[in-house]
Structure 1
Amino acid sequence: MMLTIALPTGRVFSDAVEMIAGAGLPCDGLASPGRKLVIEAGEFRYILAKPSDVPLYVSYGTADLAFAGGDVLLESAMPVVELLDTGAGRCSVVVAGPRSQAERFRGHASELMGLKVATKYPRIADGHFSARGVQVDIIHLHGSIELAPKLGLSDCILDIVQTGSTLRANSLEVLEHVCDVSLRLVASRKSTALRWKEVQSVMNKISSHVKEKRP
């Protein structure tokens, strides 16, 4: 019976493929999949999915294992078993906005009441501001988040940042750090219960490769 691993397309796909290959797992055709969304190699089946869908595949047991960004896992809140923080694709979730908002964030939390926050991560945003006892207006966007303050749609944004170049290009600065995120190896509860030896074998191989790469 094949072991199914879900991989997120996009930004961290190449990181996931590099770890699979570096761990010595069969992955013929995975580096250049073309339009294929399912690739079989040896005893493994790889599913290429939209990042936000990956936790769903795992939680429902469609995939035994998966690579998923920490931001995606936090936002989905799906019940999965986190096995390993690979450290790849590391970035930060931040609140950012124009400099004119900086004083508001330095003041008392009450200054933030009614703040308009544009984000792709409404659950993370709600959790962050609720923990501070602040009620904000969350505007759920799916792309070009940085435009929202410039167009007057929001006061600030909550998004992931790696280098900060996109923020600077749009005259935004970090107002508040929320958390750090990176690519994680996760498994379904069902698979950890019924196929633990296979899951553990993959986890150990990837973990060894990750440790070898670290300085």
Structure 2
Amino acid sequence: MTDILTHSATRPSPTDENVSDAPLVLALPKGRILKALAPVLKHTGLSPSADCLDESSRKLRFPTAHPGIDVVRVRSFDVATFVAYGGAQIGVCGADVLMEFDYPDIYAPLDLGIGGCRVSVARPHGISDAEEDDMTARASRIRVATKYPNIARRHFASRGINADIVHLNGAMELAPNLDLAQVIVDLVDTGSTLKANGLRETEVIAQVTSRLIVNRVALKTRPEEIGALIARFRDAVSAGSRDAVRAEGGLS
């Protein structure tokens, strides 16, 4: 693995006519997932420069510990787009993003097991379970505030309900209390934000973790390099699992 990636670092300039001469680009999400990824990146030998973890940094592209691979730091929702369209050959994004956009040009070979949360439906606290079941049984349409229109539509369509989407990129929790929507579909971690805004989680649509994703064309045109990177990440995940078991006293 190391030899393959080291060889790639000595390639000519990215301006060379051969696209495989360009450095590989790894797209990573801003925020808490990037911080959680730091140990994984260190294990793979792909730790980015220190300013990548500095949220005040205005830079978007960073060198890594490997000279043939750069990191770009983008919004979590944009990682999949960068990889799908070839701006980055490899990336890390949540399963929620993959579910929402369902890009055919993306291959997701590995669950990294970090950033665990869930995509859920939430309603105002004042609605009881019985009232909710009755409304759901009688409803043919429902207004949903979400940044996941495709996930929400599919979920409610499976119940025979048409979802009218109010597309928001944040502050979803305000929507039911301002009569903007009857329910929300959003990413939930502890549920504390829902509770603080008078909502309760009523359905879990999907459990979410971060996934390693790869551009399918890049996997075909640069199979050795991409394959070596996948192997490095897989080894890092395995090492992390072993460390967790040791910490719990399961291994000597």
TM-score by length of 1: 0.92
Q: Quote the residue 1:145 is aligned against.
A: 172
Picking from 75, 88, 96, the partner of 2:122 is 96
Runs of 5+ in structure 1 lacking a partner? Answer: none
Instruction: Look up the equivalent residue of 2:77 and give its one-letter code.
Output: S
Give the aligned length.
215
Q: 1:102 to 1:138 in 2, by over 3 A?
A: farther
CA distance in 1, matches of 2:43, 2:53: 12
Q: 1:67 to 1:206 in 2, by over 3 A?
A: same
Ranked by relative contact order (alpha carbons within 8 Å, sequence separation 6 or more), the top structure is 1
CA distance in 2, matches of 1:174, 1:39: 39
Q: 1:145 to 1:108 in 2, by over 3 A?
A: closer
Give SS of 1:73's match: helix
Q: Please list every run of at least 4 consecutive aligned residues from structure 1 whose deviation after the TM superposition is greater than 4 angstroms.
A: none
> Which one has the largest radius of gyration?
2
Q: 1:198 to 1:104 in 2, by over 3 A?
A: farther
Task: Give 1:108 shift.
Answer: 7.6
**Residue pair 1:109, 1:133 contacting (<8 A) in 2 also:** no
Q: Quote the residue 1:47 is aligned against.
A: 72
Picking from 37, 45, 67, the partner of 1:24 is 45
Q: Quote the residue 1:134 is aligned against.
A: 161
Task: Give 1:96 shift.
Answer: 0.5
**Residue pair 1:105, 1:111 contacting (<8 A) in 2 also:** no
CA distance in 2, matches of 1:207, 1:188: 17
CA distance in 1, matches of 2:191, 2:71: 32
Runs of 5+ in structure 2 lacking a partner? Answer: 1-20, 246-252
Q: 1:101 to 1:78 in 2, by over 3 A?
A: farther
Cα-to-partner distance string for 1:174-211 (whole Å, 9 max, x where unaligned): 11110111111000011111112111211111111112
Identity %: 34
**Residue pair 1:104, 1:112 contacting (<8 A) in 2 also:** no
Cα-to-partner distance string for 1:89-119 (whole Å, 9 max, x where unaligned): 0101110011316334434854232222111
2:240 aligned with 1:213 = yes
**Residue pair 2:144, 2:182 contacting (<8 A) in 1 also:** yes
Task: Give 1:8 shift.
Answer: 1.2
Q: Quote the residue 1:75 is aligned against.
A: 100
Picking from 17, 22, 28, the partner of 1:7 is 28
- What is the root-mean-square deviation in Å for CA atoms of aligned residues? 1.8
TM-score by length of 2: 0.79
